[in-house]
């Protein structure tokens, strides 16, 4: 399951491997709260950087995820090295993808925006080139398999399409990972500076509490992300879990003690409730790892699929709960926020 990237303009799901690498996380508590608040008369350099990165994050969370899903679909029945043999018993084809014009424009706009950043712009340009190259190949392959034309030509065209398609998909995955990594690093630094600024300027009030929960939530998601249960680092997971639980508890206590302030941010109570659900899912995973409780055959068949979130104590379930929290954070409206004196 892909984790949305949340900029502090958002909070990115750069999680680490394939699940969470989906980069980062996406919340509307962002730097400068640019999503749903009036822009300040003069934007800070962090505000500008946050706004610039949003163009990249929109592509990562949107068309990027679609292309990666298509790649996984194709690889589920075709060996990338051997290619199409014509003897496949199950032909699942490939998910279609139309070129996302808004993303293409967003990348160009972000690259031209201040502040200039060679690392970001180089990675984004490489991503865009790889995206434009792979999209038509995905679409053609989808049409071919969806129309079942392989039944008419004995997979002849499918065999011809494989090498350029597999090559383009591989190059896209590389470019995508590179962009996710640089945006994630930039976002982490933004988030740390924002928390420091909020605490200094406002104290540990509601805006700080929300940002702090999302910062610790992201660290926890990274600790939960692993290819196998054996690969999970229990010590790292336990540490991140305790840090997140502490941040969530502090936020809950603040809301209880400052109801009037909390009421000025629509749905903040639901944000806290969703945070509890994420905490529960992470605890289930920690217990499964701690108790060395292997997945049953049925559970293993679900992991890594759309039904993976149904498996208790799985990274899939944690990722889904994290996505829910990110989406809830994105939906918070700070327009009428009125902090206590």
Question: pLDDT class for 23, splitting at 50, 70, 90?
Answer: very low
For the record, the structure tokens of 219 come out as 């660290």
Does the structure show a pLDDT above 70 at 40?
no
β strands within the chain, DSSP E? 12-13, 24-25
What does the alpha-carbon distance between residue 286 and residue 218 come to, in Å, rounded to a whole number?
16
Does the structure show a pLDDT above 60 at 341?
yes
pLDDT, the chain, mean: 87
Does the structure show a pLDDT above 80 at 4?
no
Alpha-carbon torsion angle 105, 108, 112, 118, nearest 10: 150
Does the structure show a pLDDT above 70 at 27?
no
What percent of the chain lies above the pLDDT cut of 90?
Answer: 73
User: Of 43-57, 120-134, 317-331, where does the model show the most confidence?
Assistant: 120-134
- pLDDT tens profile 154-194: 999 999 999 999 999 999 999 999 999 999 899 889 989 98
Question: pLDDT class for 32, splitting at 50, 70, 90?
Answer: very low
Question: pLDDT class for 304, splitting at 50, 70, 90?
Answer: confident
| 3-class DSSP string for 39-64 | CCCCCCHHHHHHHHHHHHHHHHHHHH
- pLDDT tens profile 249-294: 999 999 999 999 999 999 999 999 999 999 999 999 999 999 999 9
Which residue, among 227, 243, 244, 223, has the nearest Cα to 286 in the 3D structure? Answer: 223
The residues with which 12 forms a beta bridge, in sequence order, are 25
- pLDDT tens profile 98-157: 999 999 999 999 999 999 999 999 999 999 999 999 999 999 999 999 999 999 999 999
| Choice between 2 and 144, residue whose per-residue pLDDT is larger | 144
Q: Is 159 exposed, middle or buried (0-12, 13-18, 19+ CB in 10 A)?
A: middle
Query: Cβ(215)–Cβ(188) under 8 Å?
Result: no
Average pLDDT over residues 229-256: 96
């Amino acid at each position: 399951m892909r984790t949305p990237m949340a900029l502090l303009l958002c909070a990115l799901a750069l999680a680490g491997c394939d699940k969470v690498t989906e980069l980062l996380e996406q919340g509307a508590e962002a730097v400068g709260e640019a999503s749903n608040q009036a822009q300040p008369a003069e934007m800070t350099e962090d505000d500008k950087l946050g706004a610039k990165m949003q163009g990249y994050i929109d592509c990562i969370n949107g068309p990027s995820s679609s292309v990666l899903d298509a790649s996984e679909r194709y690889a589920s029945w075709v060996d990338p090295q051997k290619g199409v043999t014509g003897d496949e018993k199950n032909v699942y084809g490939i998910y279609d993808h139309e070129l996302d014009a808004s993303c293409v424009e967003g990348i160009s706009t972000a690259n031209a925006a201040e502040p200039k950043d060679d690392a970001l712009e180089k990675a984004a340009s490489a991503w865009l080139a790889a995206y434009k190259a792979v999209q038509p190949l995905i679409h053609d392959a989808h049409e071919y398999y969806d129309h079942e034309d392989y039944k008419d030509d004995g997979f002849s065209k499918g065999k011809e399409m494989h090498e350029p398609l597999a090559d383009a998909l591989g190059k896209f995955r590389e470019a995508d990972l590179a962009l996710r990594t640089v945006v994630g690093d930039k976002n982490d630094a933004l988030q740390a500076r924002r928390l420091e600024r909020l605490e200094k300027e406002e104290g540990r009030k509601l805006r700080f509490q929300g940002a702090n929960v999302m910062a610790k939530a992201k660290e926890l998601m990274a600790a939960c992300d692993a290819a196998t249960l054996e690969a999970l680092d229990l010590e790292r997971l336990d540490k991140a879990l305790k840090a997140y639980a502490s941040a969530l508890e502090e936020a809950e206590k603040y809301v209880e003690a400052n109801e009037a302030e909390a009421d000025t941010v629509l749905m903040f109570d639901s944000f806290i409730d969703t945070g509890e659900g994420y905490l529960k899912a992470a605890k289930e995973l920690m217990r499964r790892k701690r108790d060395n409780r292997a997945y049953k055959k049925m559970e293993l068949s679900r992991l890594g699929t759309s039904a993976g979130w149904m498996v208790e104590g799985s990274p899939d379930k944690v990722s889904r709960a994290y996505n829910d929290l990110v989406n809830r954070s994105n939906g918070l409206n700070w327009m009428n926020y009125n902090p206590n004196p």
